[in-house]
Amino acid sequence: MNLFVAGLSYKTAPVELREKLAVHPSRWRCSGCRLKIAGNLSEVVLLSTCNRVEIYGVADWPRAKALRLFQLLSRTDADFSAHLYIKEGADAAKHLFSVASGLDSMVLGETEIAGQVKQAYQAAQEAKLTGRITNRLFQAALSAAKEVRTRTSIGRGATSVGSVAVELAERIFDKDLSARTVMIIGAGKMGEACVRHLAKKGARSVMVSNRSYERAEGLAAEFGGRAVRFDECLRAMTEADIVVSSTGSPDLILRQRDIASVMAARRNRPLFLIDIAVPRDIDPETQLLDNVYLYNVDHLETLVRQNVQLREQELVRCEEIISERVVEVMGKLAPRPERIFAPKNQPAWAPAQTATCAA
């Protein structure tokens, strides 16, 4: 029986194909049972995320079964072979360790995947789909992922404009955004993504100001916030701690004197301004004001590049850890030779005596 992984990911298949094969976590157990029975697998764990669908299993002749397993998932006879990868033995183990550690992710070193791997393993274990090989393999992979995170810097430093904005905001406000109010001006996608990151980190409330008040109301409703008419945004800004500006205006919409008046009304409390717009929305001279922190899209993208480079530098160390752990787990999974118990006064290498029965 061979350990294997068969799958497709963002590296091998477009999203329109991945979504056809995606399995909601609530269906992992049921789908896993179907794969085990119909595919004649002795053990199986199904992992399905937005970036990958993978089947980890133990079976005879896994390469011959891979395509059929994915046809079972899709309930079609479609040919997915051009998008599939199949790895066996130590290669399959190394792949799982890399996935769990975030080394195979679209964003290098992201940590969410470790939780998804753990959830997939627990679902399979609860459904009694795992066995000696997959139990030991997944436990070792999750342990290795934790070791990679603690011994290297692979997961440190934000790697998207939105997450960098959060990282900067947490520096300015001592890592606590729970008492902070966020305001978004305009409805640009990057600005909206910044606000989503900030809201996810616990920002207390969100205000949305847009030239189209109806659009502002719709977006505010998504965040459980309130809409602000565009000509009243300066007045509302006195309540904000973080302002994300993302309009399509060809000219500056916030000048230094505007922000100076806002700072006077808020008694000079710190104000974090994120200008995602191109052309810029906020006068760069604004950063000369006391307690005003202004970052534009170039600043944020520079930080993103620096953080990505830092993670890439850690990649060799991560791979060394994974290689060591793969050797360990494969050694434990190797078939053990049968022990020979020799009778007293007989060398252990002597042929074993065969029992006979009387006719």
Residues known to be catalytic: 50
Residue 245 parent element (H or E): strand 242-246
Compute the distance between CA of residue 134 and CA of residue 198 in angstroms, rounded to an integer.
38
Compute the distance between CA of residue 110 and CA of residue 101 in angstroms, rounded to an integer.
8
Sheet with strand 2-9: strands edge to edge: 43-48, 52-59, 2-9, 85-88
116 Cβ contact list (under 8 Å, min separation 6): 47, 49
Residues forming a β-bridge with 209:
185, 228
Q: 3-class SS at 273?
A: strand
- For the stretch 72-79, contacts whose Cβ atoms lie closer than 8 Å and that sit 24 or more positions apart, written own/partner, are 72/34, 72/35, 72/38, 72/39, 73/21, 73/23, 73/31, 73/35, 74/20, 74/21
Rg (CA), the chain: 28
Query: Which tokens in the block code for residue 357?
Result: 């029965």
Buried b / exposed e over 34-49, threshold 16 CB at 10 Å, is bbbeebebebbbbbbb
Query: Which tokens in the block code for residue 163?
Result: 């997450």
